[in-house]
Amino acid sequence: MGDGVIGNTMGFGPIVEGSSPSPPAINFEMNVSGVILAAGKGTRMKSNLPKVLHSVSGKKLISYALEVIEDINTKYVVVGHEAEQVMEALPESLNFVIQEEQKGTGHAISILLEDKKFANDTSEYILVLPGDVPMINSNDIKNLIKKVTDSSSTIGFLTSKVSNPFGYGRVIQQDRQIKIVEEKDCTEEERLVDEINSGIYCFEKEFLLEQINNLNTSNAQGEFYITDLIGIANNEKKDIVIVQVEEDSIRGINSMGQLNEVEDALLKQTIQQFMDEGVYFQDPTSTYIDSTVKISAGTKVYANSHLKGETEIGPDCEIGPNAQINNSKVGQGSKVLNSVVDDSIIDAGGQIGPFAHIRPGSELGENVKVGAFAETKKSKIGKGSKIPHLAYVGDAELGTGVNFSAGAITVNYDGKNKHKTDIEDGAFIGSDVMLVAPVTIGKESMIGAGSVITKDVPSKALGIERNNQKNIEGYMDRKKKND
What is the footprint of ligand UD1 within residues 167-196 (CB under 6 A)?
168-169, 180, 182, 196
Measured at the CA of 363, the angle between CA 358 and CA 369, to 5 degrees, comes to: 60
CA distances from 274 to 210, 267, 313, 350 (A): 48, 11, 12, 22
Measured at the CA of 136, the angle between CA 328 and CA 128, to 5 degrees, comes to: 125
The entry of Ca ion, ligand UD1, none near residue 351 (CB within 5 to 8 angstroms by kind) is none
What is the footprint of ligand UD1 within residues 307-336 (CB under 6 A)?
none
Pick left, alpha or beta for residue 61 (phi over 0 → left; psi -120 to 50 → alpha; otherwise beta): alpha
Residues 6 or more apart whose Cβ sits within 8 Å of residue 380: 363, 365, 396, 397, 398
Q: Select the residue interacting with ligand UD1 from 66, 68, 126, 133 (CB under 6 A).
A: 133
Nearer to ligand UD1, 133 or 317 (CB): 133
What is the footprint of ligand UD1 within residues 28-47 (CB under 6 A)?
37-40
227 binds ligand UD1 (CB under 6 A): yes
Least distance from C-beta 364 to ligand UD1, angstroms?
Answer: 42
Distance CA 427, CA 52 (A): 52
What is the footprint of ligand UD1 within residues 71-100 (CB under 6 A)?
78, 80, 99
389 flagged as catalytic: yes
Query: Residue 241 is inside which H or E element, if any?
Result: strand 240-244
Nearer to ligand UD1, 171 or 398 (CB): 171
Distance CA 407, CA 306 (A): 29
7 binds ligand UD1 (CB under 6 A): no
Q: Select the residue interacting with ligand UD1 from 7, 104, 430, 442 (CB under 6 A).
A: 104
Nearer to ligand UD1, 77 or 391 (CB): 77
203 binds ligand UD1 (CB under 6 A): no
Q: Which amino acid is at 153?
A: S
126 binds ligand UD1 (CB under 6 A): no
232 binds ligand UD1 (CB under 6 A): no
The entry of Ca ion, ligand UD1, none near residue 442 (CB within 5 to 8 angstroms by kind) is none
Task: Name the β-bridge partners of 16.
Answer: none
| Contact yes or no for 15/248 (Cβ under 8 A) | no
β-pairing verdict for 369-372 and 351-352: parallel
Least distance from C-beta 159 to ligand UD1, angstroms?
Answer: 9
252 binds Ca ion (CB under 5 A): yes
Nearest to 198 by CA among 239, 138, 251, 254: 251
Catalytic sites, residue numbers: 389
What residue ranges bind Ca ion (CB under 5 A)?
A: 132, 252, 254
What residue ranges bind ligand UD1 (CB under 6 A)?
A: 37-40, 78, 80, 99, 102-105, 107-108, 130-133, 168-169, 180, 182, 196-199, 225-227, 252, 254
